Amino acid sequence: MLRAALGGTAAAVGAGLGAGPGLAPAPAVAAPRTGGTRPTTPAAALRELARGNGRWRAEHQAHPHEGASDRVAAVSGQHPFALILGCIDSRVPPELVFDQGLGDLMTVRSAGEVLDEAVLGSIAYGVLELRIPLVVVLGHQSCGAVAAAVRAEESGERPPAHIDYIADRIRPVIDHGHTGPARIDATITANVRHVRGLLAAEPDLAARVAAGRLAIVGARYELGSQRVHRVA
Ligand SMILES: [Zn+2]
């Protein structure tokens, strides 16, 4: 099941994120986890994220793991169950859109969720040292970084210093089968696939995927619906 999900098929893993482009409806309200137990398998981690996104969409957040006992427990260590590689966009904070709390998610964010050595090293730390079972590459609707890369190519004008580094990472996946806003939107999805593919090709990560101990999935957050759905 997991292998099929990693291959980008529509095989269902969990209640939503694993169910392909049209998410199966996640329960709008889910009981918060108890006793500090967190998912330890890729499939369980996907289910928990889907449940959390369902709560967010329904405005029935549980705000888990924010209390005094959670803050005390955090002193002695961390056991995040998912790593989210997302964009810097202020409208897509992973802990909010997945309704998770202290110690639940490791988040790595860069404009357009592009990779560099620092990002890769951060992800490797989470997966190899903390044994996080799930990495989600999370793109989003109306991504300014992707739009900047598309506009730079169309205009031939180079973006300002350092922003050009971001644009250069996205440029190879610009979708030329569309024009205008549709091109930006298609490129957002293509960029998620591209980054996911790069991560999946990392030997240390690939070994854990092959062993069934890690899933690396691509997803998009839609600002309008607040829904996170898989990118096949
Ligand atoms: Zn963005």
Alpha-carbon gap, residue 213 to 66, rounded angstroms: 28
Alpha-carbon gap, residue 137 to 195, rounded angstroms: 7
Instruction: Give residue 148 CA to ligand 1 midpoint distance, Å.
Output: 10
Instruction: Give residue 196 CA to ligand 1 midpoint distance, Å.
Output: 16
Q: What is the pLDDT of residues 61-114, one digit of tens each?
A: 999 999 999 999 999 999 999 999 999 999 999 999 999 999 999 999 999 999
Are 158 and 152 spatial neighbours (Cβ–Cβ below 8 Å)?
A: yes
Instruction: Give residue 218 CA to ligand 1 midpoint distance, Å.
Output: 14
Alpha-carbon gap, residue 55 to 28, rounded angstroms: 5
Instruction: Give residue 225 CA to ligand 1 midpoint distance, Å.
Output: 16
* CATH domain 2-29+38-231 topology: Beta-carbonic Anhydrase; Chain A (3.40.1050)
Which sequence spans correspond to the domains of the chain?
2-29+38-231
With a cut of 60, say whether residue 27 has pLDDT above it.
no
Instruction: Give residue 77 CA to ligand 1 midpoint distance, Å.
Output: 31
**Average pLDDT score over the chain:** 89
Q: What is the pLDDT of residues 121-168, one digit of tens each?
A: 999 999 999 999 999 999 999 999 999 999 999 999 999 999 999 999
